[in-house]
Each structure stands twice: as C-alpha cells, then as structure tokens.
Amino acid sequence: MNLQFSYRRNGSGIHHLNPFVMPAWVAVILVAAMTVSHPVWLLVVFLSTVPVAYAAGVGRQWRGLMKFVLWMCVAIVVINVLVNQQGSNVLLQAGFRVPLLGVPMMTAEALAFGGAMALRLAAIISAFTLLNLCVHPDDLMRAAIKLRLPYRSVLVTSLSTRFIPVLVADARTISEVQQSRGLSFGSGSLVQRVRNRGALVFPLLSNSLDRAVQVAEAMESRAYGVTVRRTFYRDVPLVREDVAALLVLFGGMALVIIVRTFGFGVYEYYPALGDLFMSPAEWLMLALLSASLLFVVAAGIVRRRRTHDSI
C-alpha cells in the first residue's frame, strides 16, 4: 500500500484554490467537531469530508489513511468501554471483580460515547489529511506569512515538511544497516531492546545534525536573510471563487457558533442515552453546515474550468 501523504500536484480545482481556503475549511471542521456532541452531527461533519477527497483526486491516499484511522477508532471504542463503567444500560457484565475497577461491564452509554469520540477524531484527521494532500507546504507558508506570522518560524515548519520524508528514509536505512549486523530490534529483555534502539537512534541523530549543518550552509550560500523585504515568486491569487468559498466557510463557522449558543448539536450520553431526535430547525442547520463544507467542491470545479480556459 502506498502511504504517500505529502502534497502531490494534480489537476484538481481544489489543488488550485487559494491557500487560505483549505485552512479555513479545516478550521470550520475542527471547531464543529470539537463543539458538537450529537452523533448525527459528528457523522455528517465526517461524511462532508469524503466528497472533497474524491473531488481533489486524492481518494486513494485518503482511503489508505482512513483504513488506519478505522483501527484507531475501534481501539478508542474498546478502551472507552473497558475503562468507562458509567451508564445505566448494562449490555454485558463479568462474573468477577477487578481491584479498584470493580466488576467489569459494558454499557450502551460507554459504547455510544466511544463511537462519538471516534467519529470526532476521524473527522479531524480526515480534514488535516486533505489539507496536507491538497495545499503545497510553500503556499501554506506564504499564507501564514500574510497572516503576519514570523517568516523564520514559518520557514522552519516548511523545511521540516520537506525533510521529514528524508528523516524517515534515513531511519529505515540505519535500521537495515543494524539488522544486517545481526541486531534484532524485537528480541531480548526490555533493557536490551532499549539499548538496541540506541544503534538506530544515535546514528540517526548524528546524521540529522550533519544534515542540518549542510542545509544551513546551503541556505547561507543562497542569500538567506540577506534582506528584510524578501519577495515571493509565486503568489496564488485570491479570485472570486476563493472569496466566495471563504465567505461561505465564514458563514459555516458563524453557524457552528450559533448552533452551540442555542444548545443544538448536543447529546446526553450519561447517565442514560438521550433521544436522537432532532427538530426540523436543527436538521436545517446541519444541512447548511454540510453545504458550507461541500462548497469547496463547487469552488474547485469553477477554478478548474477557469484554469482550463486560461490554458
């Protein structure tokens, strides 16, 4: 399986949107996922990211990561059920007592709460994955600088995205080197295994330091820091579909705040599961939020047409 989660240019309109649009989209999802607790709301927020992945042409990579996230979700549900003994609807109960924890049992409330937490996590990871896959790190850097974040800090972040794959490759090679010398990372006592990891960690750290010095040399040689007013070669323009997408997302964010202020999107898990019922007004608000999140797909289609027309 190809787990390539870094930016890859493709012809999708979403890839061509202004670099402010996708961070704004992620922000709406992040705030929505963190503030609502109703499982239907969380499910809809997560599902709203799926068409964006496919419209951006990164469905395969997205699916690859989501398979991994699915296992994380299962783990969250299982751990919550095992650790959280609250709730009034007992589904299963063990016939023995565990010191400090009492009689282990599984409640419908713990199961549902674990599921909601998993959905929340899935929505957030999905959003950040798409941001990573669809926005060039250098464009993100440019957007951050426009937001008056300090250039040096932003550059360091951008450099780290460039060198993380190199670091991973280095770690893999060093691990192979030490295995070729008879080392088995998974065998021996705990102390021995920790010591064995030293054979991986020390060369990796030393090599990374060497690399850092060489990168710094190259940057110095290429006029880094020579002028306070650095220019930027490529600036992705803010055109009408970007403005429209940003306005719609701004509306989405306002909606989330209204929803939370008026007590919508809330669900009681404990002590007993509440009613899943949602009023027509709440359904309407949920539909509007989903529409605002899906608007980037429409903006991407318009941008793609415009790009083609200009070619």
Partner 1 sequence: MIQFEDFSFTYTGQHDPALRRVSLDIGEGEYVLVTGPSGGGKSTLCRCLNGLVPHFHGGALSGRVVVDGLDITAHQPREFAARVGMVFQDPENQIIASDVERDIAFGLENLGMPADIIAQRVQESLDMLGIPLLRRAPIDSLSGGEKQKVALAAALAVRPSVLVLDEPTSELDPQSAREFMETVALLHSEGGLTVVLVEHRIERVADYSTRIVVLDGGSVVVDESRRAALQLLLDEPHGVGVPPMVEVARDLRMAGLWSGTTPTEIDEARERFGDIIASGSTERRYERKPTPGPTLIEVQDLHFQYENGRPALQGVTASVRANELLAVMGRNGSGKTTLARHLNGLLKPAHGRVTVKGADTRHASVSSIAGTVGLVFQNPNDHLFADTVEEEIRFTLKHLQIPEDEAGRRVDDVLALLGLEQYRHHYPRGLSGGERQRIALASVVAARPDVLVLDEPTRGLGHELKEELLRFLIGYCDAGRAVVLITHDVETVARHADRVLLLDEGRVVDDGPRRTVLSRSEVFRPEINAIVQGHLRGKKSEAFMTIDDAIEAFI
Interacting residue ranges for partner 1, rule: CB under 8 A: 1-4, 6-9, 136-138, 158-159, 161-162, 165-166, 170, 173-174, 176-177, 179-184, 198-199, 202-203, 206-207, 210-211, 214-227, 229-235
Whole-number minimum distance, CB 120 to partner 1, in Å?
Answer: 30
Q: Which is nearer to partner 1, 183 or 288 (CB)?
A: 183
Buried b (16+ CB within 10 A) or exposed e, 41-55: bbbbbbbbbbebbeb
Find how far residue 210's CA is from the centre of its chain.
31
Q: Which is nearer to partner 1, 4 or 86 (CB)?
A: 4
Whole-number minimum distance, CB 215 to partner 1, in Å?
Answer: 5
Q: Which is nearer to partner 1, 67 or 97 (CB)?
A: 67
User: 241-244 long-range CB contacts below 8 Å, 24 or more apart?
Assistant: 241/17, 241/299, 241/302, 241/303, 241/306, 242/17, 242/18, 242/20, 242/21, 242/299, 242/303, 244/295, 244/299
Whole-number minimum distance, CB 307 to partner 1, in Å?
Answer: 13
Q: Which is nearer to partner 1, 12 or 107 (CB)?
A: 12
Question: From the CA atom positions of the chain, what is the Rg in Å?
Answer: 24
Q: Which is nearer to partner 1, 211 or 260 (CB)?
A: 211
Closest by Cα among 47, 222, 266, 18 to 139: 18
Whole-number minimum distance, CB 28 to partner 1, in Å?
Answer: 27
**Neighbouring C-alpha atoms within 13 Å toward the C-beta of 74:** 6
The H helix count followed by the E strand count for the chain is 11, 2
Q: Which is nearer to partner 1, 31 or 145 (CB)?
A: 145
Cα–Cα distance, 21 to 18 (Å, whole number): 6
253 forms beta bridges with: none
Whole-number minimum distance, CB 9 to partner 1, in Å?
Answer: 6
- Cis previous bond, 271, omega within 30: yes
Q: Which is nearer to partner 1, 109 or 139 (CB)?
A: 139
Whole-number minimum distance, CB 144 to partner 1, in Å?
Answer: 15
Q: Which two tokens stand for residue 49?
A: 């990211």
Whole-number minimum distance, CB 53 to partner 1, in Å?
Answer: 19
In the chain, how long is the greatest CA-to-CA distance?
Answer: 73
